[in-house]
Amino acid sequence: MNGFTTALEVAAQLTEARLQAEIAALPESNVRAAMAYAARGGKKLRGFLVLETARLHNIPAEMAVQAAAAIEAIHAYSLVHDDLPAMDDDDLRRGQPTVHVKWDEATAILVGDALQSLAFGLLARGDAAPTPDARLALIASMAQAAGGGGMVLGQALDIAAETASAPLSLDAITALQAGKTGALIEWSACAGARMAGADPSHLANYARALGLAFQIADDILDVEGDAALAGKRLNKDQTAGKATFVSELGLEGAKMRACDLITQAQDALQTYGDDAQQLREAAQFVIARSN
Ligand code: GRG
């Protein structure tokens, strides 16, 4: 295991423990059980980005872990809602039955709603950042990233693309993905600077390139996964004829674009010097990952 893999595992354990403790503190209910289920597992890459950028700005992990848990709660909510029959209609998530399959659709909707509320509650805590201004900056930027100008907008554009008369252009796919997956990744990477009251612009540049590379890697994984399974697992975007980075750039073109973006992401970290090594490795991981 390299330094990054260990750091990712440590961050995942810290973040998951904090999130599960918050959920366990809620009154007993079906929704609480399903929230705990939905928050379990996954790479916790967004939580890692929060903890690592906080470390870069000398914010202690005990403080930053609240924002790490908050962004993973938002991410988990987005996955639960995305899996619903009204959206992507998926039966499996992280190798397990999706929440609406294991419980029901009403529970899945409430789980997403409650995870979102939990996230904002965590950021509003007195010990979520060193100053009230920093806490407000985290809350306001999360509202922007998750809402109708960020992730929700990206998801809406994605749904609209399914019934559009023509496939999306490369620019349109890029804008869609900047909202759908990019906005939360950018929030995560900027969180450390925001906690410290520092300028997040270098981290935002890193995260924009990283977020796009992450999505291109996802498209590549879908195609290569499908090829490996000899067509047993059908990718919905491909079967629906939806434009993806791979359909627009070709497999090799998409791989080259992802590599260029990783170089761009790493270049954006120059100002942090050697201290940003884990973030550079995170960028490599995003395109080398297998899930
Ligand atoms: C429902 C408002 C709303 C938004 C949903 C995030 C999202 C928007 C949909 C997910 C669809 C999807 C599978 C997109 C591909 C990229 C992506 C976000 C993958 C899942 O993120 P990972 O790989 O997941 O970080 P883990 O399980 O590791 O947390």
pLDDT of residue 39: 98
Top mutation candidate among 158, 181, 210, 222 for ligand 1, by most atoms within 8 Å of CB? 181
Structural domain total, the chain: 1
What pLDDT score was predicted for residue 232? 39
- Distance from Cα 271 to the centre of ligand 1, integer Å: 30
pLDDT at residue number 3: 84
Q: What is the pLDDT of residue 195?
A: 98
Question: What pLDDT was estimated at residue 66?
Answer: 98
Q: Is the confidence metric ipTM above 0.95 for this complex?
A: no
98 lines ligand 1 (CB under 6 A): no
What distance in angstroms lies between residue 90's CA and the mean position of ligand 1's atoms?
A: 12
Q: How far apart are alpha carbons 110 and 119 in whole angstroms? A: 14
Give the residue numbers spanning the domain of 151.
Answer: 3-288
pLDDT recorded at residue 206: 98
Q: What is the pLDDT of residue 289?
A: 75
pLDDT at 230: 47
Q: Which residues in the chain land under pLDDT 70?
A: 1, 226-241
Q: What is the pLDDT of residue 231?
A: 44
Question: Does ligand 1 have an atom closer than 6 angstroms to the CB of 78?
Answer: yes
Atom 29 (ligand 1) nearest CA: 42
**pLDDT tens-digit series, residues 87-115:** 999 999 999 999 999 999 999 999 999 99
Find the 83 Cα to ligand 1 centroid distance in Å: 10
Question: Which residue is it, tokens 């612009």?
Answer: 201
> What distance in Å separates the CA atoms of residue 271 and residue 238, rounded to the nearest whole number?
40
**Would you say the CB of residue 179 lies under 6 angstroms from ligand 1?**
no
**Per-residue model confidence as pLDDT tens digits over 198-241:** 999 999 999 999 999 999 999 999 888 765 554 434 456 655 66
CATH classification at residue 252: 1.10.600.10
